[in-house]
Structure 1
């Protein structure tokens, strides 16, 4: 007896078509020469700079 509620099975080509229909085309890939190095400009959150004794709760 076959279950009538089972999901349909798609081939790879059908899945690719459905993905393209839903999301469209991908943007072009960024070339390696166009990539830049990420530089963090915000200070680290929650950690005082150069003051580890401020985290020592025994002296509070």
Structure 2
């Protein structure tokens, strides 16, 4: 009954190739997240710059 509440540890990959594929997949996912965050940061800085220029506060 309480066994459902106890988290089980992740299963280890059977082969080194599977382990490498798992690592690469995690790296790709982290890279995508970082790319999205960087893109959002660039858009934010661009938008702030446009607003400052329109208000005459360039500098």
Please confirm whether the aligned pair reaches a TM-score higher than 0.5, indicating the same fold: no
Higher relative contact order (CA 8 A, sep 6+): 2
- TM-score after normalising by structure 1: 0.30
TM-score by length of 2: 0.30
